[in-house]
Structure 1
C-alpha cells in the first residue's frame, strides 16, 4: 500500500465530493456543503491551513536527542503518539456514498487502534450515524471516543452513558455544531450551552467529558469552570462559522488560559507530522486529524487509515529529531522560528 494508490482510489470513490487535491487547502471545495468544503466563502478552512503554514520550524541538528519519545497519555488513554482520529459523521450525505456510515466508522476506529491511536466517531441527523460509531467502538472493546451533537442536556447525558457502558474511555460533544440546520430540520434540536448546562452533563456522566469547538480563552475558561476534562480547539474544519481565524492562531492564547488545568486538544488543517509538532509547540497536548483520514479510509479502508497514521508518526519522529525535541510531552515554543 502507498499514499498514491490510496489517493487515486479515494478520488474515484468520492465522485467529486472531494477532489483529493495535491494540497488539501479548501480552495476548490469552498462553500460545498454537503461535501467536504468550508462553509460560505470557505475562508475559515483556508485560515486553518495558512495559520499552520505561517508557523515555521527551526532546524537544529547539534543536540543530544537520538531517539525521541512519541508516546503520550491523554485522559488516561495511552497512545503511541499524540494523534487522534477526528469525528466525522454524515458520510453518505457528504461523501456521495463513498462508504456507508458503518464502513467508515469501522475504518477509523480499527485503523486508529492498529496504529496505536484512538478514533472518535460521529453523530448526525439520523440515529444511524451515532449507532454506527457505537457498533464499531463496541466491536473494538470500547476503544473509541463517541462524539455527540450539542443536543438537549438530558439526551447528551443519555448518549454519553451508552458510551460509558460500552467501555469507552471518554466522550465528546462538538459544541460548534450548535447551529447546524440539518440537525434542526430533522427534528434533532441543537444549541449553545451555558456553564450550568455543561456542569449538568459532567455531573450526570461517568467518563471524561471533552468539549470540541472552543475558539476563545473565555470559552475555554468556562469549560474549566464547568468541570470539563478536555477541550478541542476547533472551528469544525471551517464548516461551522465563516470568517473565523485558524486554530493555530488562537491556540496559544487558549493554552495560556487553561493549560495545566485541563487537557488541550486541537484540530484544523493538520496534514503532516511537522504540523503535529507545530501544534504541540503552540500549546496542544495532542491533535485530531479529520480530512486526511477520510481520504485514507475511502481509498484504503482500515489499512489505509493505519498507513496514513504511521506515515504521520514517522514524519513526527523526523521533525522531532531535526528540532532537538526529546519528547512530545515537553515541546518547546523555541522550536518555532
Structure 2
C-alpha cells in the first residue's frame, strides 16, 4: 500500500494530496476534486464522528479466528464492505488513469476479493459508458448507481443498467443538490415517495434489489422502507453536497434503531480502515461503503491496488474483532462500544 499511495499522490497531484490522514482539512472547498463542499465541515464531521467512537477491548473469549463474512441483498460478501459509486476520474482525481481503467480496477478488484463494487453516473458520457461497459466485463457483478434525473434520462439510464446484467441497483438521491448538472442542462432533483415507489417497482419487476443512497434522518429511513427500498445508504455524499451536515456515524444509531430488520442498512462517510468498519457495524450498519480510499487504491495501483486495500481492510477488521471478542459479524453489537448509551 505505501507504493500504491505514493503512485496515487503523483497521479492525483492538484486533485488529492493523499494525506497520511484523510480527514478533509487540506482540501476544504475543492469540488470538483476530492474535498468537501464549502467549508468542508460535513466531510470533517464524518471523520470526527467516527473517530470519537471508541471500542471496548476484551480478551477472555474464544474468538481467535473471526469470520468476517456476511450476506446482504442476496450477496455473499467476504467482509461487510462495498466500494462506493464514484465517477469522473478526469475532473475529480486528475485523470492519471482512464475512467474505464478505474471502473475495471474497482469492479475486478472487489470481485476477486469476494466483495462488490459500485459504478457511478454523470456527465460527460464516458462516465456512463465506462460504468456499463465495466459491468458487462464482470458479468454484471457490480451495483450501478443512477442519479435522480428529472427527465427521460432516468428511464434511459435504468434501461442501460438492466441491460448490464446487474442484480442490485441504486440511486444516489443525495446527488439532487448538484446544481452544476442543472447548469449543464441535465437537471437532477429530489424524488417524492410516490416517484420512488414507481422506480423501485420497476427494479423489482426485473427481479432486482434497490438501494436508496442519501438517507440522513429517521423519518426518511422509515419512508424508504415504506416505499419498498431493499436497503438505504446513510450518507451525506461524502460532505460534497450540503455544508455543515452531521457525520454519518452520529445519525446512524437512531436510524438503525428505527428500521433495523425492516431494510438493509449501509453507511458511508469517513471510513478508512477495518477498525472503522467494525465501529459502523457496532453502531447498527449491516455493511459499509468506502469511497475515497478505494479511489486512491485504484488510481495508484489499478486492480492490484484495490486488492491490496481490501486485503488490508480484512486484516484490520479481523484483528479488531479478535480484540473485541467478536467471533463473526452477527456477534458485533453496541456492547463493544465504550460509553455506549
The superposition leaves residues 112-139 of structure 1 with CA deviations (integer Å, 9 ceiling, x where unpaired) of 1111110000001222212211111110
TM-score (norm 2): 0.96
Q: 2-side partners of 1:185 and 1:224: how far apart?
A: 33
- Decide whether aligned partners of structure 1 residues 162 and 333 sit closer, same or farther in structure 2, where only a CA change above 3 A counts: same
Residue 243 of structure 1 is matched in structure 2 by 244
Do 1:164 and 1:170's aligned partners in 2 also have CA atoms closer than 8 Å? no
TM-score (norm 1): 0.97
- Does residue 180 (structure 1) correspond to residue 178 (structure 2)? The answer is yes
Structure 1 residue matching 2:34: 3-state secondary structure: coil
Residue 196 of structure 1 is matched in structure 2 by 194
The superposition leaves residues 74-132 of structure 1 with CA deviations (integer Å, 9 ceiling, x where unpaired) of 10011111000000011111122122211111111111111111000000122221221
Do 1:285 and 1:329's aligned partners in 2 also have CA atoms closer than 8 Å? no
Q: 2-side partners of 1:236 and 1:274: how far apart?
A: 21
Residue 331 of structure 2 is matched in structure 1 by 330
Match runs of 1:57-206 below 5 Å? 57-152=55-150, 155-205=153-203, 206=206
Using the TM superposition, give the Cα deviation of residue 155 of structure 1 relative to its aligned residue in structure 2, in angstroms: 3.8
- Does residue 292 (structure 1) correspond to residue 280 (structure 2)? The answer is no
Q: 2-side partners of 1:270 and 1:331: how far apart?
A: 17
- Does residue 25 (structure 1) correspond to residue 26 (structure 2)? The answer is no
Count of residues paired in the alignment: 335
Using the TM superposition, give the Cα deviation of residue 182 of structure 1 relative to its aligned residue in structure 2, in angstroms: 2.1
Q: 1-side partners of 2:283 and 2:243: how far apart?
A: 23
Residue 308 of structure 1 is matched in structure 2 by 309
Q: Structure 1, unaligned stretches of length 5 or more? A: none
Residue 252 of structure 1 is matched in structure 2 by 253
Structure 2 residue matching 1:178: 3-state secondary structure: helix
Structure 2 residue matching 1:329: 3-state secondary structure: helix
Q: 1-side partners of 2:26 and 2:132: how far apart?
A: 33
Do 1:58 and 1:335's aligned partners in 2 also have CA atoms closer than 8 Å? yes
Q: 2-side partners of 1:270 and 1:66: how far apart?
A: 25
Using the TM superposition, give the Cα deviation of residue 154 of structure 1 relative to its aligned residue in structure 2, in angstroms: 5.3
Do 2:151 and 2:187's aligned partners in 1 also have CA atoms closer than 8 Å? no
| CA RMSD, 1 decimal | 1.1
Q: Structure 2, unaligned stretches of length 5 or more? A: none
Do 2:284 and 2:333's aligned partners in 1 also have CA atoms closer than 8 Å? no
Q: 2-side partners of 1:227 and 1:330: how far apart?
A: 28
Structure 2 residue matching 1:167: 3-state secondary structure: coil
Identify which range, 76-85 or 120-129, moves more after superposition.
120-129
Do 2:147 and 2:188's aligned partners in 1 also have CA atoms closer than 8 Å? yes
Q: 1-side partners of 2:80 and 2:156: how far apart?
A: 29
Residue 55 of structure 1 is matched in structure 2 by 53
Runs of 4+ with deviation above 4 angstroms: none
Using the TM superposition, give the Cα deviation of residue 166 of structure 1 relative to its aligned residue in structure 2, in angstroms: 2.3
Q: 1-side partners of 2:97 and 2:175: how far apart?
A: 23
